[in-house]
Amino acid sequence: MIDLTLTFILSQVAMFLAMGLDFLSLQFKKRKQIYLTLVFSASLISAHYFLLGKITAGIIVFFSALRFITCMFTTNKKYLVIFLVLNTLTLIFTYTEIYDFLIYIGLFIFIIGNFQKNDKLMRKQMMIGTSLIILYNLVIFSPMGIIAESSFLIGNFVGYYRHYIKKTSKKKN
């Protein structure tokens, strides 16, 4: 039986709001616009996980907001290493459930994508990471988490198509 407490409902509302920002983010082409939108989205997603009592996911996604701020200004690999270490330390110190590894691995791949200079590669790696995050939301039963991350994945596909596939096919004609 689903426990429809106020906390659960608020978590789903936070994720619903993040969903719109997630979809919108990858429709932009400019790096700063993409990451600024993701800062707000990650803040809402982090709140969503904290409200569900998923501390590991909440902290890892909180660090995502900080990472997105960093990514607006640099792709320097030393920051990549710092965020991978933060991600790993969070898992080590807050691990409680086996499926905490899903959010960890998904965001590990996502982090690597965030620090790519090549936008095309960034989007591809974010698609892989997002797929694992969708699986995590399935396991913890967050309906809006599943829908929001799926929306982000679809938005990424749409943005990738608009910016890379559609333009390539027009150039060939």
Q: What would the pLDDT profile of 137-148 be if each residue is shown by its tens digit?
A: 999 988 988 998
Please give the residue that has the higher pLDDT: either 49 or 31.
Answer: 49
pLDDT at 172: 67
Question: What are the φ/ψ torsions at residue 142 (nearest 5 degrees)?
Answer: -125, 95
Q: What would the pLDDT profile of 84-110 be if each residue is shown by its tens digit?
A: 999 999 999 999 999 999 999 999 999
**Residue among 60, 2, 70 nearest 39 (CA):** 70
Question: What is the number of residues in the chain?
Answer: 173
pLDDT at 20: 87
pLDDT at 95: 93
pLDDT at 173: 58
pLDDT at 169: 66
Please give the residue that has the higher pLDDT: either 163 or 169.
Answer: 163
Is the predicted pLDDT of residue 2 greater than 70, yes or no? no
Task: Spell out the residues 6+ positions from residue 114 whose beta carbon is closer than 8 angstroms to its own.
Answer: 35, 67, 68, 71, 80, 83, 122, 126
Rounded to the nearest integer, the mean pLDDT of the chain is: 90
pTM of this structure: 0.84
Q: What would the pLDDT profile of 61-86 be if each residue is shown by its tens digit?
A: 999 999 999 999 998 999 999 999 99
Q: Which two tokens stand for residue 145?
A: 């988490």
Is the predicted pLDDT of residue 21 greater than 60, yes or no? yes
C-beta separation of 42 from 61 below 8 A:
yes
Domain boundaries, the chain: 6-166
Question: What are the φ/ψ torsions at residue 53 (nearest 5 degrees)?
Answer: 80, 20
Q: What would the pLDDT profile of 32-53 be if each residue is shown by its tens digit?
A: 998 999 999 999 999 999 999 9
Q: How far is CA 53 from CA 6, 48, 97, 112, in A?
A: 13, 9, 12, 27
pLDDT average, residue stretch 99-126: 92
Q: How far is CA 35 from the centre of its chain?
A: 11
